[in-house]
A and B are shown apart, each in its own frame.
Chain A
């Protein structure tokens, strides 16, 4: 990190995550964009740091794709490790250049005042265009004052636009760390409700709980009543905390479901809390354990 751009620190208090992220962004954008684009990014960042009002930030966020393009960042394993080392759980694997720049611009506007930052973030989200909102939400784990921006994160999860929902829910450590139980449960149920997937959600097993298990069983029964399929991923957060109705649902799936459903239930029962659930088919689950290990089957495979 010898070349960390010190100009970003002008007038701001030290913040290792913010400065480290801006340094990474500067390096990755210099590598992925053409020379003109990289130069534009640097000068726009500098302008934002010294700007008297938010207009500079708004224009820079708006213009990012026009100046830098929308190509995937194409990060290396080393890049990913540096991201995770900077901020545990931070995973920009599938970010595009313009998304990275937009988050960097937002962060460059932080002048040491977390409350003012949260207000600015909220205001930008309220008038953000579709792709801007997706990018700004992907930056959630990096922003200072995590609790202050929680209302906006929950608002994004309420969105009817799947990519906005997924910008918060997927590959993002923020909800697992910050959301209370109700907000968390609604996010997980909604992921399945709108046909999204659970495997990219961070912290699922750690935050499984009996209330969520009950909500998911209700969703499964509603789907069965309507003759609609139920995602095998649903059982992940049911199996460890199944009550009597949960056990009945699991039994129905185990007996009548596809191979994928059985794999999902076997995977879910590896959760420590799963050991105490009284299941009539527990003996059969044991046979699956060897297969899961031998074939290295994970949640992504049953989605």
Chain B
């Protein structure tokens, strides 16, 4: 079983959902982020938050995948200050909703004062609503931006054990691990982090608090990245237990903290869910213990049950 804890599914096709279910993905987390183009009014944000907590959740269920989301104002769009204020005002409407497992993606883009204000206001909201946080680390000036984000979290007394710092690489892993945070790694086909590099990191640093995701969105990205990385790690001899942690257990531990994401949702779905929202996942019928199939099979047939 695999959880992809960072997947922008509104950008993906039904083929992707089918392939993900086939590859053993039982749950995805859809973080609120920007859409590739700036929004011009608060209504667009309301509709987006409603979409990722409503229709997309339903759509995923039709393919046997449980869908959760994070809610937040992303750093890029925090720079439109009047709009950012309006978005911060409507956020509380969404934070107590079913299936909302964290606030995110929060953090910095260009590290402007406006981004800083939005980040701090949302850290306080996360505390008020008892939600973990998913941090988006900046693409540019990454190392400094990551350190600064962790400093701000510390200033607000936010517990690192309730926070995932995402989009890590070889440059950031040591600092983030030392400070006690969970670490997300987005596996991209060409940039950021590849499966090979990820496998080496797990070998060198161990699986504790490391979390693999695909960050699949509207750009060049691969919704099977987590499954492929798991297979590569198996081929390189990483233990099944370690693989299970980085592609399943760790994500469940931190994003399950507020009780909205639970293993029973896909192992033993409530009858009312099966009747309406969730079609069930045939991948699980063979048994509930994670099992990584023989290396060397074609990727299309990859199945981690």
- Chain A interfacial positions (CB closer than 8 Å to B): 55, 58-59, 62-63, 65-66, 70, 72, 96, 126-134, 160-163, 166
Contacts and interface: CB of A to CB of B under 8 A. Distances in A.
A63 B93 contact: no
Given A66-B259, A66-B260, A131 B98 contact: yes
Contacts of A130: 53-55, 57-58, 98-99, 277
B272 A129 contact: no
Contact of B50 (A55, A72, A126, A166): A126
A4 to B, nearest CB: 29
A291 to B, nearest CB: 31
Contacts of B158: none
Given A62-B96, A132-B97, A127 B272 contact: no
A131 B277 contact: yes
B130 to A, nearest CB: 10
28 contacts: A55-B93, A58-B93, A59-B92, A59-B96, A62-B95, A62-B97, A62-B98, A63-B96, A65-B98, A66-B98, A66-B260, A70-B270, A70-B272, A72-B272, A96-B272, A126-B46, A127-B49, A127-B94, A129-B53, A129-B54, A130-B58, A130-B99, A130-B277, A131-B277, A160-B55, A163-B276, A163-B277, A166-B276
A55 B259 CA distance: 21
Contacts of B97: 62, 129, 132
A251 B259 CA distance: 57
Given A66-B259, A72-B272, A130-B58, A58 B92 contact: yes
Interface string B50-73: 100111011000000000000000
A58 B49 contact: no
Contacts of B49: 127
Interface string B98-115: 110000000000000000
Nearest to A167: B276
B73 to A, nearest CB: 15
A133 B272 contact: no
A159 to B, nearest CB: 9
Interface in B228-249: none
Contacts of B259: 66
Contacts of A96: 272
B98 A132 contact: yes
Contact of B58 (A55, A70, A126, A161): A161
Nearest to A64: B98
A129 B92 contact: no
A96 B272 CA distance: 8
Contacts of A128: 50, 54
A101 to B, nearest CB: 13
